[in-house]
Amino acid sequence: MSEPQKILFIINPVSGVGQRGMDEFKKLIGNALDHALFSPEIMVSQYAGHAAKIAEDAVKEGVKYIAVAGGDGTVNEVAGNLVGTDTVLGIIPSGSGNGLAHHLGISVKKADAIALLNHQNVIQIDTCLVNDVFFVSIAGIGFDARVARQFAKSKKRGFLTYGRIVFREYFTYRQRKYMLSLDGKKIQTSAFFISFANSNQFGYNTRIAPNASLTDGLIDVCIVRKPPVIELPLVAHLLYSRKIDKSKYIDIYRASDIIVKRKKAKTVNIDGEPVKMKKELKIGVRPASLNIIVP
């Protein structure tokens, strides 16, 4: 019988795991993980960017499996160092939105997500870059990025906080003009926000790109115009029912090579985290570049 393989759990204590939940999390690993298959090690990130450094070092050491317990931002940190390697990513959803986990159908129940690792059902998914900044799930500009920036400043997390920020910022944010090149096709548009979707959602099951695929080598470019207030309940319903592509306020294109020109250098939403970038954005896909465990 072969020896159990090392699996490294990287935990973000600021996420839903929390310092107080560490003992519980260790018990879940003890009960749900197949110890005939895996020998677990747990490391806790201590500062912004620490999870990325832990993952980078683990890959250099030849660790085959890394499971991250955190939100989309922590998943992004870890996954960026696994691209193009043989290391396999597992996700234990523990953040606010958990967009990538929802898209993949990974349970938000930690015990179930840990038990999923035992099946070792691995696929290769696409990853993306915005001006050499990595993202795996979704990037966005405009109102999307404004909300990400305000959410990052908030001391409270969760859906209610996110919803309050969306509602508050909606009334003051105006559409912006953009010039896009989608695989060479030029589009000039005014948009409330534009999402570049590798997966189908922001998180909280808000599916901005209902038909997006992580394995098609393409990005769904979602150009959204600002709906009037009276239409917001309908738009919200379409977001949650996977029908937003039916709305007259959105156009969705697919491309693998994208250039965006905007008037000012502003924030870009990168997997839920705000990142300041220059006026011109170049967005591309790296097909089948990340190994990940799925149901």
Q: In Å, how far from its chain's centre is CA 274?
A: 12
Both 139 and 200 in one domain: the answer is: yes
Is 293 within the bounds of a domain? no
Mean pLDDT value of segment 230-240 = 89
Range of the domain at 228: 133-287
Is 125 within the bounds of a domain? no
Higher pLDDT, 216 or 18: 216
In this predicted structure, the answer to whether residue 19 has a pLDDT above a threshold of 60 is no
Is 101 within the bounds of a domain? yes
In this predicted structure, the answer to whether residue 97 has a pLDDT above a threshold of 60 is yes
Q: Going by DSSP bridges, is the β-strand pair 138-142/193-197 parallel, antiparallel, or unpaired?
A: antiparallel
Q: Per-residue pLDDT tens for 158-208?
A: 677 777 888 888 989 999 999 999 999 999 999 999 999 999 988 778 899
Mean pLDDT value of segment 55-76 = 95
Alpha-carbon span 72 to 139, nearest angstrom: 12
Residue ending a domain, among 69, 95, 120, is 120
Tally the domains of the chain: 2
Is 292 within the bounds of a domain? no
Mean pLDDT value of segment 150-154 = 78
In this structure, what CATH number is given to the domain that contains residue 273? Answer: 2.60.200.40
Both 115 and 137 in one domain: the answer is: no
Burial of 18 (0-12, 13-18, 19+ CB in 10 A): middle
Q: Quick one: pLDDT at residue 1?
A: 60
In this predicted structure, the answer to whether residue 20 has a pLDDT above a threshold of 70 is no
Mean pLDDT value of segment 208-221 = 97
What DSSP state is assigned to residue 89?
Answer: E
Is 191 within the bounds of a domain? yes
Residues 6 or more apart in contact with residue 250 via CB below 8 angstroms = 222, 223, 224, 225, 244
In this predicted structure, the answer to whether residue 21 has a pLDDT above a threshold of 90 is no
- Binning pLDDT at 50, 70 and 90, where does residue 18 land? low
Residue ending a domain, among 120, 144, 179, is 120
Is 126 within the bounds of a domain? no
Both 270 and 155 in one domain: the answer is: yes
Is 128 within the bounds of a domain? no
Both 150 and 223 in one domain: the answer is: yes
Burial of 112 (0-12, 13-18, 19+ CB in 10 A): middle
| Per-chain mean pLDDT for the chain | 92
Alpha-carbon span 38 to 111, nearest angstrom: 15
Both 278 and 141 in one domain: the answer is: yes
In this predicted structure, the answer to whether residue 82 has a pLDDT above a threshold of 90 is yes
Q: Quick one: pLDDT at residue 169?
A: 85
Both 280 and 153 in one domain: the answer is: yes
In this predicted structure, the answer to whether residue 291 has a pLDDT above a threshold of 80 is yes
Both 45 and 102 in one domain: the answer is: yes
